[in-house]
Amino acid sequence: MNPAPAPAPAPTTETPEPPEQRRIKLGGTTREEVLTMLGAGAGSLALDWLLYERVLPLSGAFGFLLCWYLLFLGLYTLVGRLQWDALTVRERLATALAWSSGLLLLAVIAEQIGYVAVRGFDAARHWNFFTETMRTTAPLSPITSGGCLHAVVGSLEQLGLATLFSVPLGVVTAVFLVEAGTSRRSARFVKPVRVLVEAMTALPSIVAGLFVLGVVILTLGAEKSGLAAALALTVMMTPIVTRAAEVVVRLVPGTLKEASYALGAGQWRTVWHVVLPTARPGLTTAVVLGMARGVGETSPVLLTAGFTARMNLDPLHGNQASLPLYVWNYVKQPYPDMVARAFAGALTLMAVVLVLFVTARVLGRHRAPTDRRARRPLRRSRTTATAVPVPAAATAVPATNATNAATASAVANR
């Protein structure tokens, strides 16, 4: 018998090795990018100097810097295109634009603060500026005499009253604009109220001062006082608070309100216990925006509060100074010490705004649900669950059933 032929060897299928993948680095900067940016900056600066000094009849620091920036962008794009693809060039050019815009904004803010600090340093370095008034200070008095204490007190009282009036009114209006759409009776009033709020947002501050001057002071016979100035500031702050609060209230998830309705709560009870606590950080931002609008107003205060160099702690009677009016009244005088006091008052106004902003952010900070007070009921339930006596027959119960039983007992005892 012939032997059986040997089986043919199985064909071997060799899978080709995948090409080596190149790792792409997302974010950050490379050495090539930094060197390219520095080279483009140096080259554009040299080219800008050549154009301004030798070729073109141009002058001025602003034009020099603007031309340098435009030349930098063009040269950076050209050099980058020689080594990168078009998509990478656009991405890095956008990054350069974003960073340069942010640095420019910071530079402008630092320049403004530095200019005010330098001009007002002669007056602000003396402690008497923050502890005295201008009652006994003449235009030619030394810099160690007089201060802005009465203006600080007046600004705080006027801003406090305006915030007390405008914040509840603005928040209630914002809630009405958001929640009234669900009711057919109130839906027809939403559009007129929104139009009125938008019109008041663009209202000039001098018009608000004239309105309070004509209605409250001339018609009703009230005198110029801090309260009248607070009413004028309320007219300016209310639409800002309303617009910002409306946006925040609209961002509250609808599932939270639906859960409240499912538990039997009414609409306004849901707003009070669910919507407003959830939107508290955003509402704080709305309050800060309104305060920032009102704290620097000068024309409404000038028409409604008047000006005085004395301390007036009563916002209901008599003229009352404020920091913006203090700055406006003294910066136009031809005496260097008075101008220095005006710039020191502007620096004090910046500090007051910063303190108010930080205080509002701290008070409106959202607390995490894992707070110690929120964990106390959970700890008590765990203690009760471990203290529940387990019968002997329950020792044969699986662990999951024993755990469920303990949890149920804890919930029942709680």
What percentage of residues in the chain have a pLDDT greater than 70?
A: 79
Q: Does residue 285 fall inside a structural domain?
A: yes
d(CA 228, CA 217): 8
**Spatial CB neighbours of 343, under 8 Å, sequence gap ≥ 6:** 116, 119, 120, 123, 327, 331
Distances (CA, A) of 296 to 196, 198, 238: 24, 21, 15
Question: Average pLDDT, stretch 65-90?
Answer: 89
* Tokens standing for residue 376: 């106390």
φ, ψ of residue 120 to 5 degrees: the values are: -100, 10
348 and 301 share a domain?
Answer: yes
Do residues 190 and 177 lie in contact, with contact meaning Cβ atoms separated by under 8 Å? yes
d(CA 353, CA 15): 70
221 and 106 share a domain?
Answer: no
* Tokens standing for residue 100: 């340069």
Nearest Cα neighbor of 285 from 253, 249, 252, 245 is 245
Q: Does residue 136 fall inside a structural domain?
A: no
Question: Average pLDDT, stretch 270-281?
Answer: 87
d(CA 410, CA 405): 9
d(CA 298, CA 204): 12
Question: Average pLDDT, stretch 69-81?
Answer: 91
228 and 327 share a domain?
Answer: yes
d(CA 377, CA 383): 10
96 and 156 share a domain?
Answer: no
Distances (CA, A) of 204 to 49, 160, 209, 218, 293: 44, 21, 9, 20, 12
pLDDT, averaged across the chain: 81
293 and 206 share a domain?
Answer: yes
For the cut 60, the answer to whether the pLDDT of residue 186 exceeds it is yes
Q: Is 19 helix (H, G, I), strand (E, B) or coil?
A: coil
Q: Give the domain-ending residue among 119, 136, 159.
A: 119
Q: Which domain holds residue 81?
A: 31-119
Q: Does residue 413 fall inside a structural domain?
A: no
212 and 167 share a domain?
Answer: yes
217 and 172 share a domain?
Answer: yes
Q: What angle do CA 240, 242, 245 make, to 5 degrees?
A: 105
The CATH number assigned to the domain holding 231 equals: 1.10.3720.10
Range in 2-11, 142-151, 237-246, 255-264 with the lowest mean pLDDT: 2-11
| Residues 284-303 pLDDT 10s | 888 888 888 888 888 889 89
| Residues 303-326 pLDDT 10s | 999 888 889 898 888 899 999 999
d(CA 282, CA 274): 14
Q: What is the pTM of this model?
A: 0.71
153 and 296 share a domain?
Answer: yes
pLDDT on residue 168: 92
What percentage of residues in the chain have a pLDDT greater than 90?
A: 24
For the cut 60, the answer to whether the pLDDT of residue 395 exceeds it is no
79 and 221 share a domain?
Answer: no
Confidence of residue 266 (pLDDT cuts 50, 70, 90): confident
Q: Give the domain-ending residue among 119, 138, 173.
A: 119
69 and 110 share a domain?
Answer: yes
| Residues 357-381 pLDDT 10s | 787 777 766 554 444 544 455 455 4
Place of tokens 């958001």: 178
- State the total domains in the chain: 2
Q: Does residue 16 fall inside a structural domain?
A: no
